Amino acid sequence: MKTNVLLPTDFSDNAWSAAVYALKLYAKEECTFYFLHSSKMKTSTMSNFSNKLLETMSKNDRKELLELKEMAQNANVGTNHDFEIVLSSEDLQNAIETTIRKYDINLVVMGTKGATKAKEIFFGSNTVHIIKKMKLCPILLVPDEFDFVEPSQIAFPTDFNRFYGEELLPLKRLAKLFDSKIRILHINEEKDLTDIQEYNLIKLKTYLKDCEYSFNWMSDYAKKAVEINDFINESEIDVLAMVNYEHSFLESIIKEPVIKKIGFHSTIPFLVIPG
């Protein structure tokens, strides 16, 4: 089955770095990559420009998209790849959602760095907004200037309080690209699992039966962000995956300004799955 991958771009090095990661990740897969640029401006800004100037700016955006497409074709590592461009006059969030629906997108891949370029903040404000709103499709967030390595190990933190089924399909698909091992991480906040947690654990085993996986238990010794980062470093994890649902740990770290207090700054790609 062909995979459709959306690559939002602002023509920055950060966005190009994420695109290159996606090309390498899907090198052996049949894919269509869609480069999307949102050219929408605030009304107050637009009022200062003439129609002719706006038209010229739109032409320049299209030209840059075409150049990006050509760069991707020249840098391409996969023989089964097609490339398309999408120039949208909607804001970025709506542009992404419209494109997902129109082209049946399976995955959005984008860079994470915000306009501040602050090293300690993992998510830029645009990224945070998109994660919060995104319910249609998983997003793979790629750190700036990240050099591609085959993902041999994927970390999946869970508290077992939630039943997982088909929503984990993006995790399974990612794992099967390189026969990655899924390292399920549970941070022990309780002495024993409840009956519900035990049930969900058993169901998770059943759902992942055709994947290689392991369960990993960590004592509750610090903030979750610290413990997850420690696990990533100690276990040589290549990709972090989480499900974003109401009251999840992920939801808590994308609530501003909590994000700055937690300092969640993963150094590896991060798959966010809508719950």
Is 132 found in the same domain as 212?
Answer: no
Whether residues 167 and 205 share a domain: the answer is yes
Tell me the per-residue pLDDT of 96-122, one tens digit each, with 9 for 90 and over.
999 999 999 999 999 876 444 444 334
Helix residue ranges per DSSP H, the chain:
13-25, 43-46, 51-75, 92-103, 125-133, 169-177, 195-207, 224-234, 249-253, 258-262
Percent of the chain with pLDDT over 70: 83
What does the pLDDT read at residue 258? 44
pLDDT at 117 (0 to 100): 46
pTM of structure = 0.87
pLDDT digits (tens, 9 = 90+) for 157-184: 998 989 998 999 999 999 999 999 999 9
| The pLDDT of residue 204 | 95
Q: Is residue 11 part of a domain?
A: yes
Q: What is the pLDDT at residue 187?
A: 86
Mean pLDDT, rounded, of the chain: 85
pLDDT digits (tens, 9 = 90+) for 69-93: 999 998 877 678 999 999 998 988 9
Q: In terms of domains, do 130 and 161 share one? A: no
Full residue range of the structural domain in which residue 243 is found: 153-269
Q: What is the CATH number of the domain that holds 188?
A: 3.40.50.620
What confidence score (pLDDT) does residue 65 get? 95
Same domain, 193 and 128: no
Asked if residue 187 lies in contact with residue 220, where contact means CB atoms within 8 angstroms, the answer is yes
* 138 preceded by a cis bond (ω within 30 of 0): no
Q: What average pLDDT score do residues 18-35 get?
A: 95
CA atoms in the 13 A half-sphere facing the CB of 259 = 20
* End position of a domain, from candidates 107, 142, 177: 142
Same domain, 81 and 163: no
Do residues 184 and 248 share a domain?
yes
Interval 205-254: pLDDT, tens:
999 999 999 999 988 887 777 888 899 999 999 999 999 887 777 776 66
Mean pLDDT of 64-68: 94
Domain closes at, from 142, 176, 191: 142
What average pLDDT score do residues 17-26 get? 94
Together in a domain, 82 and 210: no
Based on the domain organization, do 169 and 133 belong to the same domain?
no
147 occurs within a structural domain: no
User: How many folded domains does the chain comprise?
Assistant: 2
Report which of 113, 118, 121, 116 is spatially closest to residue 225, judged by C-alpha positions. 121
101 and 124 both lie in a single domain = yes
